[in-house]
Structure 1
């Protein structure tokens, strides 16, 4: 069987976990948590990084930092994971869903501007498949209308955006805040785990307080105050040292992991390009301003029936591809309090996008079998 995903160990994950346990501190903010935070701040020029238990937690922290109140409006792509919206809905925000590009699952800035009102407070661009949204256009809108931007960079580690003046910045360093994931399906994994990036220094101190249950405990441990107490909203967002220890071992091998993932991505691309040329599928498009971090490889079929047929065909051969998001504007939760709205491009990706098996230990032989079977499937349906 070739699964969709497979967690992997590449270096000192287990020895670092043992080291963390033997240190006598496996709760949050120990040596490995600090090592991870320093790694990201130095490599990607993130002004401040705080590790969290998940990307969802990082998004919830961002919602508190944006001071979301009931009635505020938050613009979110319909084609995304529920956390992108849920983090703000929890604070009472009205979620305003907008559409993707027709040829790219990322949020369309032209659609964003159509939905900005006096109540709009935040834009949440989601860098789907690790490919950058058009951040220059989105930041221009944010400045024009005085809005926060929270980058949902769950899939976007080690990916970049190039501005029109040639400046290149890491995804997660452009908006006011950003959230990353280290779930087992991501490029760099820790089972669960995430981080929030704070790009505006005005929010450094408050972010620490929110992450520490609303207390100024972090400042106390640094000797900046002589006692700590409850000073703000917050929750327990700190990951254990065990998560950070596993993650740090992966970070030490980031370049090796990324090189292998790009090889896998390029092999899929070259093996399936002929099907795109025949018009039976579409392959991922990388805009000129974006880099490719090889987070996933997906194909977009022409209709729901062909995708369903291909999933069944591959599963019969012990290969497990998966579809992805269901348009959130059509979710039961949203429709319980909102009228049905038409978001056609999101619906198209919901019905037609298919993710192929993709993980560090996927062999060339396994990948060639997947490519061969996909090509065979379209020969069969063409003949029939």
Structure 2
């Protein structure tokens, strides 16, 4: 069986886990947590980074920092993972779904403004497949209407956005906040784990408090206060040193991992160009302002039936591709309290997008097998 995903060890993951245990501290905010945070702040020029137990937790922290309350409205793409919406719904927000672009699963920045009301408080651009949303347009809207921008950068590590003036910034460094994931399906993994990026210094102190169960415990350990207590809302968002130790070993090999993933992505892309030229399938669209961090490779089938048949065909050959998100506006939870809305592009990707096996240890032979089978499937096209 060629799986869809496979976790991997590339360097000193086990050695660092042992070091963490032997250090006598495996709870949060130890040596490896600090090393990881420093790595991200230095490499991507993030002003402040806090590791979390998941990207979901980072989004929930962002919702608290944005002071989301009952009745606030938060703009989210329909084609995304439920956490992008759930983090704000948990604080009482009404989720306003916006459609994807016609040729890209990302939120259509041209359609956002028509959904902004006096109740709108946050825009949540989700950088699907690590490919940037149109952040220049989104940030202009945020400035015009005095809104927060929370980048859901779960898939976007080591990816960049180029502004019209030529300025280039890492995804996650553009909005007010950003959330990343180190789930085992991501480029850089730790099993679970995530991080919150805070790009405005006025939120640094409160973010630390929220992450430490609503206490000023971090300030206490730095000697800034002589005792700590409950000062704000919060929860236990710190990852253990076991997660951080594994993650740091991966970060030491970031360039190697990324080079291999880009090689895999490019091999898929080159192999299927002929199918795209014949309009048998569509391939990922990378806008001119976006980088490709090779998070995933997908194809877009002509219709739901074709995708179903292709999945069954590949599974019969011991290959495990997967489809991705179901449009959140069609979810049972949303429809229980909201009327049906028409979001056609999101539905298009829901029905037709197929993700191919993609992981660091995917061999050339296995990838060639996948490619050849898909080419054979589309031979009559």
Task: State how far apart, in whole Å, the 2-side matches of 1:282 and 1:320 are.
Answer: 20
The answer for the alignment partner of 1:29 in structure 2 is 29
- Matched residue pairs, number? 381
After TM superposition, the structure 1 = structure 2 runs for residues 205-220 of structure 1, keeping only pairs within 5 Å, are 205-220=205-220
The answer for the alignment partner of 1:340 in structure 2 is 340
Aligned to 2:300, the other structure's residue is in SS state strand
Gaps of 5+ in 2: none
Superposed displacement of residue 360, structure 1:
0.2
Aligned to 2:339, the other structure's residue is in SS state coil
The answer for the alignment partner of 2:65 in structure 1 is 65
Superposed displacement of residue 110, structure 1:
1.3
Superposed displacement of residue 27, structure 1:
0.1
Superposed displacement of residue 179, structure 1:
0.1
After TM superposition, the structure 1 = structure 2 runs for residues 54-203 of structure 1, keeping only pairs within 5 Å, are 54-203=54-203
The answer for the alignment partner of 2:41 in structure 1 is 41
Superposed displacement of residue 379, structure 1:
1.4
The answer for the alignment partner of 2:244 in structure 1 is 244
**Over aligned residue pairs, what C-alpha RMSD do you find?**
0.4
1:187-242 residue CA offsets vs partner (Å, 9 max, x unmatched): 00000000000000010000000000000000000000000000000000000000
When normalised by structure 1's length, the TM-score is 0.99
Superposed displacement of residue 365, structure 1:
0.6
Task: State how far apart, in whole Å, the 2-side matches of 1:227 and 1:246 are.
Answer: 32
After TM superposition, the structure 1 = structure 2 runs for residues 216-235 of structure 1, keeping only pairs within 5 Å, are 216-235=216-235
Aligned to 1:59, the other structure's residue is in SS state helix
1:131-175 residue CA offsets vs partner (Å, 9 max, x unmatched): 000000000000000000000000000000000000000000000
Gaps of 5+ in 1: none
1:318-350 residue CA offsets vs partner (Å, 9 max, x unmatched): 000000000000000000000000000000000
Aligned to 1:268, the other structure's residue is in SS state helix
Task: State how far apart, in whole Å, the 1-side matches of 2:290 and 2:274 are.
Answer: 24
Task: State how far apart, in whole Å, the 2-side matches of 1:315 and 1:128 are.
Answer: 25
Task: State how far apart, in whole Å, the 2-side matches of 1:280 and 1:58 are.
Answer: 39
Task: State how far apart, in whole Å, the 2-side matches of 1:277 and 1:310 are.
Answer: 19
Task: State how far apart, in whole Å, the 1-side matches of 2:285 and 2:329 are.
Answer: 25
Superposed displacement of residue 111, structure 1:
1.1
Task: State how far apart, in whole Å, the 2-side matches of 1:130 and 1:300 are.
Answer: 17
Task: State how far apart, in whole Å, the 1-side matches of 2:255 and 2:105 are.
Answer: 27
Whether 1:352 aligns to 2:342 is: no
* Greater than 2 Å deviation, 4+ residue runs: none
Task: State how far apart, in whole Å, the 2-side matches of 1:272 and 1:371 are.
Answer: 8
